[in-house]
A and B are shown apart, each in its own frame.
Chain A
């Protein structure tokens, strides 16, 4: 809250800023380590070229959009594990209808999944970890049935190509899309009653409810936004890789959660800044990329990747909320 300037005059990091600073520092470490490797191996510094960095940001923008939605859900002490097949379904349904209806179709898929998730969690009170996992399986079944019966169109439309893959002034449009969504997220979390309610619910749902916060409505909206952002990211990814395919979302759920948590959002909800999620996304994308440049075998990459996530969680935010 920005009601007082007394804390800003002191030069110190607040509780929420510390993980962001650590993650940012780690990004620098990754870049330096990668550059030392390329210098010694090839005598060049490709990691520090604008082309490389912009390309990483483009790859990061798809993950970033998913992580934005995931962050909303994590902030209210929930989780959305239906992301992979919501993403795939959004992409597959969009390419299947094609033409001008591709974008509305993707958003509609997200909306429907979000309503179902919201209903399960807010009304039926089923733990989101189980409910969204079940929804993920259902979505997968629906998509397999959809492609099994007949062969739908899987080619990306021109709009999808425009949004996800094309560039203006040398900068991919996907990055602009991510920036727009990020600005909306910051406004949503910082400037609206909805944003305040999100943090309140994540900290103590009972207290928020007894203060007259419309907890059910907030839960619904958070799940709807998360699913819609996922299916929209699916549309972009299909545009980027020119087609939609089954399983295209499977590689995104863990990195999205990891990006949110590495950015300092408490996995138990109630705390975290959106800037942290952006930093977390960049960290994960760079880590992946540098490990592959270093020709680390897949097994080693997975181990390092997982170890980094665990190590970051140990450094900050470990079960702090459990004590209060």
Chain B
């Protein structure tokens, strides 16, 4: 076929000296643009800059938006109370597209171009795993709010921390006794086919075994899948409990199709709220969920016994009693996870103040100060509940909520204890060189 208009004629695009000069001039102009202005006064008055690796687009977008809201609220609260060591805090946000390769680029960009003090805020486990090496290479502390076991597995590196949310292995271990005792002994697992799902795949069977229950089938579903009915025939008929955890934009379809498949003749359901995070549990087609149970990190619905700290946190972030944005009941939050952003930022504040952190040259000191932390008391800085922190594996341990769907709301029916979720460390980050 003839190339009449010369679209593929490369010979047309020669670079003239004038064009080259224009390019250089534009580059110089960029370097002088506001973003590159350095603070000329003493470092101590410049704001602390936190690079926020956000899932603005891609399969994690719903989480990304609420992680940003929560972090912005926490930064405002910290700044209103005088900032960190008297310095204001500033979030620098970059979208990682919920993509591991892009995630690593974003971390490197924070370290080299934005020159932020730390990187923070990642949720999706494949992005964390993909980005962690970049944090290690650039020696920039990387505080994730991911829930995955990868940080605590000590397979990442010394610069990666998860001090704001309990990891999946611990969550499963602390909830397994309740599942075995209250839901059933024959469990079929449905989980997303990537890193976070593999934590569930690997840690649920031994945790249930210890309680005299068995996982009889494991069904992996790609997180980008858009129709799910085809997977359900793999659920064995003798299943007593379906343990489900899904992520991605199609979670509502997943739960709806599960309802169409089973109707009211369903096995017991125990789900991670991830399967319905940012989705209204009263959406049409979800009526069959009534009476089923969910894990929640922090409860979506306001509970009767909420602490003053929890109430203040909900007001600051801007969610109503149903866990939706104030003023827009359709905009349901990711309440079960996003508290981790709030708490992590307060951990960063504590560690920076302990370390006498001045700037990027003190990053190693910040790592050591974070590792020295032992526990976080429940209160305005940690509204989800008390936590302990293991500096060797860079992971915190807190309480978990098991909630029941009742009258279109999630009501907490069981809270685990911190001790229920403790396990033998699998390694020690502190032996690695800084």
- State yes or no: do A and B come from one complex: no
